[in-house]
Amino acid sequence: MRLHAMGNRSYQNGFRVTLHERMLELPMTWRKPRMVFVNSMSDMFHDEVPLSFIRRVFDVMAASPQHVFQMLTKRSKRMRELAPRLKWPRNLWMGVTVEESRWYSRISDLRQIPSPVRFLSCEPLLGPLDKLPLEGIDWVIVGGESGPSARPMKQEWAVSLRKQCRDALVSFFFKQWGGVRKDLTGRTLQGRIYDEMPEIPAIPQVGHLQFESA
């Protein structure tokens, strides 16, 4: 609601799902390759986002092969159900959020998606993720919760995930410790920064693109 209160045009409807038609063709105007996080503030597979709109977003990504698009969802069941009805572009990385072990079912759904890169966002990491099923997964992002009511992340949880990624030959990215003041806690894990990513051609810019909001 902070962006709504600030008068941001894209969030004038608050938490109601809003489709931003004006944003759809913007990536095709960018000539310089970018890595684009799609809908970082919402979820493309929300029940109120129509299949016709999702298809249009996928068509834009396919028509912009110079970019790499990253998409993250908590609604993996709908993603899996719609997957056969979508044309999956080769430049889309698809991920699911796995904060706790009770969400391992999302990983099973992700494995059924024809995406060239499949990733897990273990952020905010709220508990240990033992025996994380990493078969078919290319990348794991780990991070703590941030903000005034942030729940703490234990070091052993992150260290365990790093080891599991090493054993499975999966790229490991440690994003942050989080906390009330994430600027003070930093992002080093046992004295080292982990910025690993799946191998792709160099893409110099990173950006966010909000096709819809919720």
- Output the six-digit token pair for 138: 């290319």
Q: What is the tens place of the pLDDT at every residue in 101-151?
A: 999 999 999 999 999 999 999 999 999 999 999 999 999 999 999 999 999
* Count of Cβ atoms closer than 10 Å to residue 107 Cβ: 19
Spell out the domain ranges in the chain. Answer: 2-213
Looking at this protein, which amino acid is placed at residue 29? T
pLDDT at residue number 176: 97
Global pTM value: 0.86
Q: How far apart are CA 164 and CA 134, in angstroms?
A: 8
C-alpha pair distances (Å), 154 with each of 31, 51, 114, 130, 143? 42, 39, 34, 13, 11
Only one residue has tokens 């095709």, namely 28
> How much of the chain is in helix, strand and coil states, percent to nearest 5?
30, 20, 45
pLDDT at residue number 8: 43
Q: Which contacts (CB < 8 Å, 24+ apart) does range 155-159 have?
A: 155/189, 155/190, 156/128, 157/125, 157/127, 157/128, 157/129, 158/125, 158/189, 159/189, 159/190
pLDDT at residue number 23: 72
pLDDT at residue number 214: 54
**Domain formed by 2-213, architecture:** Alpha-Beta Horseshoe (3.80)
Mean pLDDT, each 10-residue run in order, the chain (214 residues): 40 59 81 89 93 95 94 98 96 97 98 96 98 97 96 97 98 97 94 92 55 55
Helix (H, G, I), strand (E, B) or coil at 208: strand
pLDDT at residue number 126: 98
Contact present, 48 and 17 (Cβ < 8 Å): yes
